[in-house]
Structure 1
Amino acid sequence: MESFKVGIVGCGTVGGGVVKLLLENAKVIERRIGKKVEIAFVADKEIEKVKRLGIPEEKIFDDGFKALSKECDVVVELIGGTTIAKEIILKAIEKGRHVVTANKALLAESGEELFKKARERGVSLKFEASVGGGIPVIKALREGLSGNRIKRIYGIINGTANYILTEMTEKGVDFETALKKAQELGYAEADPTLDVEGFDAAHKIAILSTLSFGRWVRTENVFVRGIREITPLDIELAAEFGYRVKLLAISKVVDGKLEVRVHPTMIPEEHILSSVNGVFNACLIEGDFVGETLYYGMGAGERPTASAVVADIVDIAMGNTYDVPEELFSDDEKLEIKAPDDFISSFYLRFTAVDRPGVLAKISKVLGDYGISIKMALQKSINVNGGVPVVMTTHPAPKRKVQEAINRIDSFDVILSPTFVCMIEEL
């Protein structure tokens, strides 16, 4: 039986999962593709850890660059980061090796350069595991939906943030309490910044946007806001208005321009994305012919992510070595990225105000002066920072106008702390 040799650089959680899957399911893979997939080498600084996985010593390297001298058909990069990982991938491409990676940060930052090098060298660079863990959302966009114009993407694509918001929603705890539990369970890193500030989701939606809308989208093109400012009160009030709060990654064409954004979003309680809880991920993709499609599953972890990596390895072994469309490298006019100030959305606004007559009318007048129409309003008789919360939802309005109005309102002496703003997506 023909052999297909795989080199793995980085044997942490995901790398270890890939090794286990290739060894444990070797017969299943052979039967399905008619080839024997062999591990040519594993490179990791912790050699003893690799040995415990059952890899022979002669196939173990403590240096990824040295390992690349060994013959293989595909190099799997799983060390993460945007420096050494990039050098490893470029070196592998230079040697004429196909590459598989789960490195969303690197692809969002340097994808254009890496894919161009791969195309020039005639090799494939695959990245299914970079978005959604074990959910085959990349494959869906590149194959299953290839006949459609993509209209919009809504993704809950960070399990850590989704777990925290689920805890806050179901148990009424604050952000710090939910974060601490997520860390204790291993769902959040000691430094959770990438997850809770939205940057991890921004990397992922940049990749999905590039595949969907025919232009390179980088992280700096994505409007990003995290979930730290969300309070149990906001979640409670969202429910009163008929919404749930999710960290939503959004990519859609509006008025001929591309909006790409990640931020806490209120979505209708009855929508299917509202029921995506815990560490699960989901991605809703709408095509012009197929309509709405939904992809759901575990978005991270050793086994789901390893499954996606091995799917790419198998694709290459079967000869499916397609790459990103050549049109992405052309100089033709591309879809313009919309500036955040030009977003049009409904908004949830929470003011913390002195409890006295006329405050609600004063706030409403300023919003009216800026052409912002109020949909619903309420005032809660509870103490928040020495004042009471005055909460409103608006009809669709330009983000710029809303921010200008809030800046003016926050200057009033009856407003005790900066106004909290959350966009609403009616889906």
Structure 2
Amino acid sequence: MIGVGLLGFGTVGGGVYQILKSKKDYIKRKLGEDIVIKKILVTDINKKRKYCVDKFLLTDKFEDIVNDSSIHVVVELIGGEEPSFSYIKAAIKNKKHIVTANKLIMAKHGEEIFRLAEENGVKIYYEGSVGGGIPIIKTLNESLVANKIEKIYGILNGTTNYILTQMTEKKMDFKEALKEAQDLGYAESDPYFDVSGLDSAYKISILSSLSYETFIDVDSLYVEGVEKIELEDIEIADELGYVIKLLAIGKRLEDESLDIRVHPTFVPKNNPISRINGVYNVVQIHGDNVGEIMMYGQGAGEMPTASAVVADIIEVAKNIKYNISNGLINNLQDHRLISIEEVENPFYIRLMVNDKPGVFAKIAKVLGDNNVSIASVIQKHRLTPVVPIFLRTHPVKEKYMNQAADELKNIDDVIEIKNIIRVEEL
């Protein structure tokens, strides 16, 4: 019998309880062991809940779980940084194996957690922290172990993907699409964590740490959200053969340095990632032997995430028998994370300029003086004194693009640089 202690009984915790209860016999046939929830940590024992649960299982004292010798696995589903991080460390020190869906904890404190787990002879599983029900962690850990991972591209946040999908398909502006996402429960009342790109940054940090056998400092990543995307950007992207997605990118470069970032991106329509819409997530991986593979599915929600958590609980139970190590700590590689200034991409630029002769020549000169080569230009004729110009550049280092942008602001007839978006030719 494998004893489990749940920390948290919210949306995902309730889903985990329901799966373990309804699939009890099936899991025992697969595993050869019973998995039994021994205790559930909650803040209010008397609160009315979606799933009926015997009150003797509920406790509001963490000590009832961490000090219970019949509990082998602690499942952290509280979320946030504290008290989750402290609870995980205390459980590890008490020789409990850990399952968590907490992306923030794994991205910010993964190295400390893995080292502590190794010292105490326990295991850490975190499939639910990235991609909800998509089994991407297990795939990287096991199915792709014969591969050197070269690139990871992902849409890792369902909220922003839903917003951009509505802007693309229904011509909503950003605020309208965000409100609809909130009304449907896809976005929080405070959507900052999602729309700023931070949620995706935590997830690509986890995937890159695993893929490149190192620990990525999430605070050192370049992260840009979708707040500045406007309908005009969406429409020009479509005209040029692209779709705008909030893309999480992790690349191993030829010199073994790493390029890891999150930002809105022009994705070519002929790449399957461009067709992943709504609240769905996708991860596209390039391995040196397998080539390109892609996995997609629901990236959040009660049952998709609960499914991943239960799979981890079962995996812990299996691996306890065979004493299989997580393996990451003993095989760390030394990789340099390159600055965003050194990254080379084509760019899309949207400018508002005075509609008069000679303005474009001034713009072209500034770009050329800063090593920025123009690939294409679109100017929409409007009966107004100020008009938009849309430029697409050839690949250029970010630092040169930034220098050019600073100089463009000094041209009197350039009223505003409305947006600069990177183009990724996947």
Mean CA deviation greater in 54-63 or 229-238:
54-63
The C-alpha deviation readout for 1:117-169, integer Å capped at 9, x for no partner, is: 00110000110000000000000100000110000000001000000000000
Find 2:56's aligned residue among 55, 58, 83: 58
Q: Distance in 2 between matches of 1:269 and 1:343?
A: 23
Q: Which position in structure 2 is the counterpart of 1:258?
A: 258
SS in 2 for 1:234: helix
User: 1:189 Cα deviation (Å)?
Assistant: 0.3
Whole-Å separation in 2 of the counterparts to 1:222 and 1:328:
23
Report matched runs for 1:114-125 at 5 Å: 114-125=113-124
Matches within 5 A, 1:30-109: 30-49=28-47, 53-70=51-68, 71-109=70-108
> Equivalent residue for 1:295?
295
**Structure 2 regions of 5+ residues with no counterpart?**
none
Aligned length: 421
Deviates most, 342-351 or 355-364? 355-364
- In structure 2, the CA distance between the partners of 1:185 and 1:52, relative to structure 1 (3 Å rule), is closer
Query: Which is worse superposed, 314-323 or 403-412?
Result: 314-323
- Structure-to-structure mapping, 1:248-327, within 5 angstroms: 248-256=247-255, 257-319=257-319, 321-327=324-330
Following TM superposition, where does structure 1 have runs of at least 4 consecutive aligned residues deviating by more than 4 angstroms?
49-52
Secondary structure at the counterpart of residue 201 of structure 2: helix
Look up the match of 2:364.
Answer: 364
Report the alpha carbon displacement of residue 419 of structure 1 after superposing the two structures with TM.
Answer: 4.0
What is the CA–CA distance in structure 2 between the aligned matches of 1:50 and 1:129, rounded to whole Å? 26
1:304/1:52 CA distance change after superposition, 3 Å: closer
Whether the 8 Å contact between 1:44 and 1:50 is mirrored in structure 2 is no
Match of 1:415 in 2: 414
What amino acid sits opposite 1:31 in the alignment?
A: R
Deviates more, 1:343-352 or 1:319-328: 319-328
After superposition, what is the alpha-carbon deviation per residue over 1:191-244, rounded to whole angstroms, capped at 9, x for unaligned? 000100000000000000100112110211211000000000000000111100
Range with greater deviation from structure 2 (367-376 or 410-419):
410-419
**Hey, what does 2:19 align to over in structure 1?**
21
Counterpart amino acid of 1:424?
V
Structure 2: how far apart are the matches of 1:162 and 1:202?
15
1:112 aligns with 2:115: no
Give me the identity figure in percent. 43
Is 1:6 matched with 2:29?
no
How many Å separate the matches in 2 of 1:319 and 1:382?
66
- CA RMSD, Structure 1 to Structure 2 (Å): 1.5
Q: Aligned to 1:418, what secondary structure does the other structure show?
A: strand
Residues 355 and 387, structure 2, Cα contact 8 Å, conserved in 1: yes
The 8 Å contact of residues 214 and 327 in structure 1, kept in 2 or not, is answered as no
Does structure 2 retain, via aligned residues, the 8 Å contact 1:157–1:282? Answer: yes
Q: Which runs of 5+ in 1 are unaligned?
A: none
- Look up the match of 1:166: 165
Cα offset, 1:357, TM superposition: 1.5
For structure 1, which segment, 214-223 or 261-270, has the greater mean C-alpha deviation from structure 2 after superposition?
214-223
| Structure 1 range deviating more: 408-417 or 63-72 | 63-72
Q: Secondary structure at the match of 1:319?
A: helix
Q: Distance in 2 between matches of 1:53 and 1:396?
A: 54
Letter paired with 1:91 = A
1:196 matched residue in structure 2: 195
CA distance in 2, matches of 1:328, 1:420: 42
CA distance in 2, matches of 1:4, 1:299: 28
Q: Give the conservation status (yes or no) of the 8 Å contact 2:352–2:414.
A: yes
Secondary structure at the counterpart of residue 67 of structure 2: coil
How far is the alpha carbon of 1:30 from its aligned partner? Answer: 1.1
Contact 2:67 2:94 in 1 (8 A): no
Partner of 1:381: 381
Give the partner amino acid of 1:245: I
Q: What is the letter of the counterpart of residue 200 of structure 2?
A: A
Matched AA of 1:171: K
Report if aligned partners of 2:99, 2:309 keep a CA contact under 8 Å in 1: yes
Q: Secondary structure at the match of 1:389?
A: strand
Change in Cα spacing, 1:354 to 1:255, as seen in structure 2 (3 Å) is farther
Distance in 2, Cα, partners of 1:407 & 1:199: 26
Opposite residue 285 of structure 1, the aligned amino acid is: I
Q: Is the 8 A contact 2:101 2:127 kept in 1?
A: yes
Question: Secondary structure at 1:47's aligned position in 2?
Answer: coil
Q: 1:208 to 1:389 in 2, by over 3 A?
A: same
Alignment partners' CA distance in 2, 1:110 and 1:253: 23
Query: In structure 2, how many angstroms separate the alpha carbons of the residues matched to 1:193 and 1:240?
Result: 30
Q: What is the Cα deviation at residue 56 of structure 1? A: 1.8
2:399 is matched with: 400
Q: CA deviation at 1:254?
A: 2.3
Q: 1: distance between equivalents of 2:271 and 2:147? A: 23
Alpha-carbon separation, structure 2, partners of 1:46 and 1:306: 22
2:176 corresponds to 1:177: yes
Deviation of 1:381 after TM superposition, in Å, equals 2.5
Q: Does the residue aligned with 2:38 lie in a helix, a strand or coil?
A: strand
Contact 1:377 1:390 in 2 (8 A): yes
Q: Is the 8 A contact 1:40 1:59 kept in 2?
A: yes
Give distance in 2, aligned partners of 1:327 and 1:409.
50
Checking the alignment, whether the CA contact within 8 Å between 2:14 and 2:50 is kept in structure 1 is no
